[in-house]
Amino acid sequence: SSHFGSRAKRGSSARRCCFARIAVRGACPAMEVDYGEDEAAARPAGRRQKGRGGEDDDRYAGKAGVFDRLPHDEDDAGPARSIEGWVIVVSGVHEEAQEDDVFEAFAEFGDIKNLHLNLDRRTGFVKGYAFIEYETKQEAAQAIKAMDRQALLEQKLSVHWAFAKPAGAARRRR
């Protein structure tokens, strides 16, 4: 055997012996683990939730659990206003549609404040949906009523409110 090869063996076996001695003696604090047998017995046998919220803590007790809310209209159910306007979601947009095609189709119902036409990074084509923001609820409602189930570039669109408030019974109150 060569001098280099025997040296590598000696070094690696010496390392193995060193770690084995530490583990056997219990001198390595990382090797000593308390598994908490008494905690495991106290835990219920049912399904355990992992991550945040798994334990019952006092994180949201008292005023810490009171969160700010946006003011809501007099009716509980129906569309919800975003921070800047009324947003509708248009699905079924043709993959080769341009922003101008969608803008021209929906501009006749009111002033469009914002239009998002998301593209697939890999293909560069439209993902199939768009978000359109109008200034007023009436403009957005007209666009939904007129363009839902209509064709744009020979493809049928589906137009709905992007944000909706839950019905009164289903709404959580704190």
pLDDT recorded at residue 165:
82
Rounded average pLDDT over 37-57: 62
Model confidence pLDDT, tens digit, residues 92-126: 999 999 999 999 999 999 999 999 999 999 999 99
Quote the CA–CA distance of 174 and 67 in Å, as a whole number.
9
Q: Is the pLDDT of residue 2 over 70?
A: no
Query: Distances from the Cα of 78 to the Cαs of 48, 163, 173, in angstroms?
Result: 37, 9, 17
Q: What is the tens place of the pLDDT at every residue in 134-149?
A: 999 999 999 999 999 9
Most confident of 7-21, 39-53, 142-156: 142-156
Is the pLDDT reported for residue 158 higher than 70?
yes
Identity of the highest mean pLDDT range in 35-39, 73-77, 126-130: 126-130
User: What single-letter amino acid sits at 86?
Assistant: W
Rounded to whole angstroms, how far apart are CA atoms 110 and 135?
8
Does pLDDT of 171 surpass 70?
no
pLDDT bin (cut points 50, 70, 90) of residue 78 is confident
| Res 15: pLDDT | 47
Q: For residues 142 and 161, what is the distance between their CA atoms, to the nearest angstrom?
A: 11
Q: Between the CA of residue 33 and those of 26, 27, 103, 157, what are the distances in Å? A: 11, 12, 63, 60
CA distance linking residue 51 with residue 34, whole number of Å: 21
Partner residues linked to 159 by β-bridges: 90
How many other CB atoms sit within 10 Å of the CB of residue 22?
A: 13
Exposure string (b/e) for 97-108, b if CB count within 10 Å is 16 or more? Answer: beeebbeebbee
Q: Tens of pLDDT along 49-59? A: 676 666 666 66
User: Which residue intervals of the chain are DSSP H helices?
Assistant: 3-25, 37-42, 99-107, 137-147
**What's the pTM value of the predicted model, to 2 decimals?**
0.55
